[in-house]
Structure 1
Amino acid sequence: MRRHARYRYRMNKKAGDGLISLSGDWGSISVHELGATVTSWRPGGREALFTASNETPGAAPMWHGGIPVCAPWFGAGPGDWKVPFSHGLVSRVRWKVISTAGDDDRAHLTLATDAAATRDLPGANHFPSDLRYVLDIVADASRLTLGLTIVSPTRDAVVELAFHPYLLTDAPTASVAGLESVGFTDYAVSAVGSEDSPVAVGRYLDRVYEQARPTKVTSQSGSLRLAAQGASSVIVWNPGPAGTQVPDGEWERFVCVEYGCVKRNQTLIPAGGTHLLRMTITVD
């Protein structure tokens, strides 16, 4: 007989306000309503995501940790106008929890937000006023899948979107395989190019690759595999030892391998249409 699952839904009105936690024999996951950010994924009880030690939910516009959602722009944006802050609007608002379910095999959460929630933020006027966003999250003992659907009911919408996972790894020994021979723009050194070998992570990296191939992150702490549908870009980022985004030394504990449609690979959602970006992270 299968044992009844452990299930927990937490809405702490103090420091953890808005945090949803689900757990079962498979492991656990936590998602914050602010930005629909996955803050923890522990398949088999072992954490797979990094979060900076000085991060507090709600204290910053985008956390350095977990898996933030970037939309409807990424980074500094692709257009001819200056964005007021990096990585878009949806990370800055609380999403509505549509459903949560969990058992001993997996957890499943769905959250949603829309342009009405972001309309008072700077930059929102550059996008249709009826955009809708739905995030579907499924986690089990070896795999985490996130699916972001953007709906533009009445107008064409040109958007950037990306998942921004902070993968817990030993950065000085880590490499990212799968992007060999793919062209990239390296914003860390203001150069373009490609490489025939896996990307070494132990340094400042800020690369946008022009294809979204499956990748594998390997280090002395283990390996993770990533793949996506509806993506046309991969971003590999680490601030390196001179970066100020995380406390001293913590750059060594993660790498961001991000999937989406950014820069020249932004996507057009036609009026009445949708775009689905789905990313899967698998623990080897």
Structure 2
Amino acid sequence: MPTPDELATAGLRTTVNSTCRGAALDLGATVTSWQPRGQRDVLFVSREALVGIDDEVHGGIPICAPWFGRGRDDVDVPRPHGLVRWVPWRLVEDTTSDAATTLVWECSGDEVAHLPGADAYPSDIWFRHEAQFGETLHLSFTTGSPSTSFVLDEAFHCYFAVSHISDVVIDGLAGTRYRDYTDGAAWHDADDVLRIHGHTDRIYDAPGNVTITDDDRIIALTPGDAASTIVWNPGPDGARSLTGWAGEEWTQMVCVEVGNVQHRAVTVPAGGSHTLSLDVAVRPLG
């Protein structure tokens, strides 16, 4: 795990209230923990996670924007998953009531201008992220530009902790189609439910609610203004090749992400903005 000094440098924020414990980093405005009262943590973070400025944090809920993955089919990008996860954000609000804690961060175009790929987006682009830790975890990511319209790919890259991947059932994707990036990005029709048996990398045209059933609990995702659901697990071979990841941990997590990516990317008008939101809830099984 990252050392206390490394976490401090990454801007670790922790919170405790009557409903949950939570944690986040200023680096990427990345939520790293949400543990409802009486539950184990809902989020997974690799025990070998790296949290430096140039590191991809494997765990929690990084934000991918203004592009996702390796970009859209017709766009070349210099590194995966955008600009905002690679820089510290400014915390502008930190409020706690008895039942909830709200953290709000902001990031400007100037703060990402040095990164490769930033010149493809308006220089006055701005980002705002709100995370509310309570009985549910509420996330709200907003971006815009006062002067220029732009195409936005975005996602909450959620890593969820599970007892064992073989016990997991993902529901809510039936009746949709997906691109399978383990099969040359070919399109397929979704099964009624999804079980993970190894390397999985799919983008679903699925704007609705999704549930993740583990051996003892159900994690429920309710997105807002999202048209894509991404399901990812590195499998054993991929896990061994990742930096900042313990190889056997692929059985302890699943990424179920929500956003607007590939042909579902959104156009943000000049002077306007777009907000992606997500509510995460957990309840016992049975």
Q: Which residue of 2 aligns with 1:242?
A: 237
Residues 1:226 and 2:218 are matched in the alignment: no
Gaps of 5+ in 2: none
| Secondary structure, aligned partner of 2:128 | strand
1:26 to 19, 40, 49: 19
**For the residues of structure 2 that align with 1:79 and 1:276, how far apart are their CA atoms?**
23
| Secondary structure, aligned partner of 1:264 | helix
Q: Residue 251 of structure 2 aligns to which amino acid in structure 1? A: E
How far did 1:237 drift?
Answer: 0.6
Q: Which residue of 1 aligns with 2:266?
A: 267
| Secondary structure, aligned partner of 1:101 | strand
Describe how 1:46-125 pairs up with structure 2 within 5 A: 46-58=40-52, 60-78=54-72, 80-125=74-119
**For the residues of structure 2 that align with 1:53 and 1:163, how far apart are their CA atoms?**
21
Deviations 1:165-199 (A, max 9, x none): 10011211111100001010010122211133211
**Comparing 236-245 with 74-83, which one deviates more in the overlay?**
74-83
Q: Is the 8 A contact 2:223 2:277 kept in 1?
A: yes
Deviations 1:33-77 (A, max 9, x none): 000000111111521100111113216532110000000000000
Q: Residue 70 of structure 2 aligns to which amino acid in structure 1? A: A
How far did 1:15 drift?
Answer: 4.0
Q: Residue 29 of structure 2 aligns to which amino acid in structure 1? A: A
Q: Residue 163 of structure 1 aligns to which amino acid in structure 2? A: F
**For the residues of structure 1 that align with 2:194 and 2:203, how far apart are their CA atoms?**
12
Residues 1:256 and 2:255 are matched in the alignment: yes
Gaps of 5+ in 1: 1-11
Q: Which residue of 2 aligns with 1:16?
A: 8
Q: Is the 8 A contact 2:27 2:85 kept in 1?
A: yes
| Secondary structure, aligned partner of 2:218 | strand
Q: Which residue of 2 aligns with 1:146?
A: 139
**For the residues of structure 1 that align with 2:221 and 2:61, how far apart are their CA atoms?**
13
Q: Is the 8 A contact 2:50 2:58 kept in 1?
A: no
Q: Which residue of 1 aligns with 2:281?
A: 282
Q: Is the 8 A contact 2:150 2:267 kept in 1?
A: yes
Q: Is the 8 A contact 1:27 1:42 kept in 2?
A: yes
How far did 1:82 drift?
Answer: 2.2
Q: Residue 107 of structure 2 aligns to which amino acid in structure 1? A: T
**For the residues of structure 1 that align with 2:84 and 2:216, how far apart are their CA atoms?**
32
Q: Is the 8 A contact 2:27 2:53 kept in 1?
A: no
1:152 to 1:79, Cα distance in 2 relative to 1, 3 A: farther
**Comparing 146-155 with 75-84, which one deviates more in the overlay?**
75-84
Deviations 1:205-229 (A, max 9, x none): 1000112110000121421000111
Q: Is the 8 A contact 2:21 2:36 kept in 1?
A: yes
How far did 1:79 drift?
Answer: 5.4
1:187 to 1:79, Cα distance in 2 relative to 1, 3 A: closer
* TM-score of the pair, normalised by structure 1: 0.92
Report the aligned-residue RMSD: 1.5
Q: Residue 275 of structure 1 aligns to which amino acid in structure 2? A: H
Q: Which residue of 2 aligns with 1:196?
A: 191
| Secondary structure, aligned partner of 2:72 | coil
Q: Residue 168 of structure 1 aligns to which amino acid in structure 2? A: A
Q: Which residue of 2 aligns with 1:38?
A: 31
**For the residues of structure 1 that align with 2:15 and 2:85, how far apart are their CA atoms?**
21
How far did 1:258 drift?
Answer: 0.5
| Secondary structure, aligned partner of 2:43 | coil
Q: Residue 99 of structure 1 aligns to which amino acid in structure 2? A: E
**For the residues of structure 1 that align with 2:228 and 2:213, how far apart are their CA atoms?**
20
**For the residues of structure 1 that align with 2:7 and 2:69, how far apart are their CA atoms?**
28
**For the residues of structure 2 that align with 1:103 and 1:155, how far apart are their CA atoms?**
38
**Comparing 114-123 with 167-176, which one deviates more in the overlay?**
167-176
**Comparing 75-84 with 163-172, which one deviates more in the overlay?**
75-84
* TM-score of the pair, normalised by structure 2: 0.91
Q: Is the 8 A contact 2:62 2:156 kept in 1?
A: yes
How far did 1:101 drift?
Answer: 1.0
Which structure is higher in helix share? 2
Q: Is the 8 A contact 1:173 1:202 kept in 2?
A: no
